[in-house]
Amino acid sequence: MTAESIELRETVAARSRPLVRVAAWAGIIGPFLFTVTFVALEVFRATDYNRVAEPISALQAGSGGWLQQWNFVVFGVLTFVFALGLHRGVGPTRTGILGPALLAVTGIALVLAGIFPLRKDAAGVLYDPGGHMVAGLLFFPGSMVALIVLSRRLAHDSRWRSLASYCLAAGVVGIVGVVASGILTVPDDAPLHHWAGLTQRLLILAVLFPCRLVLSGRLLRVAEPRV
């Protein structure tokens, strides 16, 4: 690599740092804000909401449901910004855009989940008027596959290499969890359907969010100018 190309790369990196820093904070704030909001709604809805059996999306149906709709939308926007920052903050590879692109798609899926909320009929049965389930299918498998694909790009950047295996493991565990949940808990006649809410929360809070926060923390370090 010539001196000119190194200088150009450093100039591009310097110009990207403000975006990368904002994206890192978006990656940190997003999971925390989303979690605090839905937990607060669960407490508010304690008499008519079962967090073990019902998915987080069920908070959209009933009292205060509009707040969970906005919770999805805000988290989706922050996820999209985080994806842009990751693309700028991790060294490029030939197919490296795929990981951040998949992550950006999950941000769009969250926005769609807010725009197309779940509802309950007169009998109190949860149903999808249209669009929400599609958003869920984009978000959960998409988030896990994004981690797997992103891990390959991390492995080629010395600043990120130490997180590549963790990112890959989180994605693989997440995919296994999504498939298992789709078979054992999500269908109405599934043997563990009454645990659907709990399994969804485990996937989000124990697998996806910790990895997102670790990546965000590293991105924040990458955004700091070298001295």
pLDDT in tens, 76-111: 999 999 999 999 999 999 999 999 999 999 999 999
For residue 226, CA distances in Å to 10, 13, 14, 59 come to 10, 11, 10, 45
pLDDT in tens, 48-78: 899 999 999 999 998 889 999 999 999 999 9
Q: Is 93 exposed, middle or buried (0-12, 13-18, 19+ CB in 10 A)?
A: middle
pLDDT in the model for residue 63: 85
pTM equals 0.91
pLDDT in the model for residue 17: 83
pLDDT band of residue 2 (cuts 50, 70, 90) is very low
Expressed as residue numbers, the domain containing 99 is: 3-223
What is the count of structural domains for the chain?
A: 1
Q: Is 157 exposed, middle or buried (0-12, 13-18, 19+ CB in 10 A)?
A: middle
